[in-house]
Amino acid sequence: MKVIDKINAASGLAASHANGGGASDKVSFSFEFFPPKTDDGVENLFERMDRMVVHNPTFCDITWGAGGSTADLTLDIAKRMQNIICVETMMHLTCTNMPVEKIDHALQTIKSNGIQNVLALRGDPPHGQDKFVQVQGGFSCALDLVKHIRSQYGDYFGITVAGYPEAHPDAIESDGLATPENYQKDLEYLKQKVDAGADLIVTQLFYDTDIFLKFVNDCRQIGITCPIVPGIMPINNYKGFIRMTGFCKTKIPDEVTAALEPIKDNEEAVRAYGIHLGTEMCKKVIAHGIKAVHLYTLNMEKSALAILMNLGLIEESKVRRSLPWRPPANIFRVKEDVRPIFWANRPKSYITRTLGWEQYPHGRWGDSCNPSYGALTDHQFMRPRARDKKLHDEWAVPLKGVEDIYEKFRTYCTGKLKSSPWSELDGLQLETKIINKQLEKINLKGFLTINSQPAVNGEKSDSPSVGWGGPGGYVYQKAYLEFFCSAEKLHTLVEKINAFPQFTYIAVKSAGSLQSNVGPNDVNAVTWGVFPAKQIIQPTVVDPVSFNVWKDEAFEIWSRGWASLYPEGDPSRKLIEEVQNSYYLVSLVDNDYVNGDIFAVFANL
């Protein structure tokens, strides 16, 4: 989706224009990141993004290095942001060292990956040069880039351009100010970019809010009507602040200098002041009718999130979900509103395996079970090094027998372990904690759970533990368990299930031997919600087709996710591989979500 449409929707502009009413008081926010220099840095950045994106920013953008120095990495990060992190992504694109063929390659790449937003910039001079030089076959300025995008790609892209409240650094004189003539020329050039097709302006950083507010007024005076979003850079450390403001030729108000000078060597104090200053700056611009703020994070989360919490724009304890899983941002899969529950703890793996689909499930899952899932790749089993270390510390312990494996699963269900080879998430989910005592008991009996949800009968949709879908609705779900167990335990369990007609199950071994009491094409909705003026939404299902695909991944995790933590020939590794080859993977649903008790069948086993 275009960022301009999201900002207009959030501020109520579309509705107010249509109805002749006033705009909404809602303020949207967004984050900027830059490509790290190392592979570890990139993985750490994605972990940080994941934590920040749960707060529902309007978009996140990723910068393009001077001279195209990070071009390939920026493209890769943008694709992962849009498709794996599932956040609306805006990619910077500059003219520096970029002939038109490279520019088109970048635009075609992001378009094919469902990205609709570009920040069009001239760009800084290449490293080691003082002035921007137009490359042969390239463009000389952002205006050329905007014109090219509109002429070649029509209305597909939302185009954002940069605004400079103090004028472009090239127009600022040695005294730190732009002449009135240069400032006016810069404003007129900005209007040319908007007239050529840009629909949003994000500003250069500033620390004097009066300068920003004057800039907005000056833009309006010359006929620039599109939203102007202030770029706010929290001060995280003194040296970085001085370096950045010097590079951008940004005016530092006297009161800011006076506040920082006594504490410049105290990093914690500087960061605390930066949060205070950023909060006050945002309060002031919001009070003047600005409906969006853009935070230059410098790839750090704490200051940016602290400012948003101070503003009341986010609450750490109230992360609202529009669906039980993070909705896709890719424009090509926006109709996707239902998924198999099996990948609940591995959503990135699910997205990766379905990237090549030509259509995505909409409505009943059974209507779209024909597209082929992507094959398993190394990606499904790759982990950031920090997570790999946590798994190693928590799971690579000596195992003398299967009871030790039972104990490891039990301990995870108590919340004492923060990682699981079968989960991309950190720790237990809130709804799992509702039933973790029961889970603990059945894991000790050898039913090794990797996925679960409690029964829910009409809980309010803003419930912190099971809520989703926005306010005013009610959510429902059938109790669900997914676990590994031995053939003997499965046999005993199935005998008991026969006395409970509300239970449905699917069981399969790694080699493909399958038992089930449901039809091969049956689809069972296990989560649904009822909301005002909407049809019933059923976002998660259980179906044999998907389960048979998921089982390959689930069994492979035994070896590549857990056994691989041990050296070759280790007895613990051998034990894990024996379990992998002999156990069943079982999906169990209690379809009586009102009076049922999914744990009843495990009594006395």
User: Among all residues, which ones are annotated catalytic?
Assistant: 32
DSSP string, 248-264: HT----HHHHHHHGGGT
DSSP conformation class of 561: I
What's the sign of the alpha-carbon dihedral 518, 519, 520, 521?
A: negative
β-strand partners of 203: 163
For the packed helices 39-53 and 385-395, what is the interaxial angle rounded to 10 degrees? 80
CA distance 558 to 579: 8
In contact, 277 and 235? CB cutoff 8 Å: yes
Both tokens assigned to 45? 């950045």
180 φ, ψ (degrees, to nearest 5): -55, -35
What distances in angstroms separate CA 308 from CA 148, 169, 333, 504, one per listed residue?
36, 29, 30, 45
List Cβ neighbours of 110 (8 Å cut-off, separation of 6 or more): 75, 78, 79, 82, 91, 118
What distances in angstroms separate CA 311 from CA 33, 284, 294, 308, 511, one per listed residue?
21, 11, 14, 5, 55
Q: How many CB atoms lie within 10 A of CB 398?
A: 10
Both tokens assigned to 563? 């056994």
CA distance 218 to 106: 34
CA distance 364 to 376: 25
Q: How many CB atoms lie within 10 A of CB 583?
A: 24
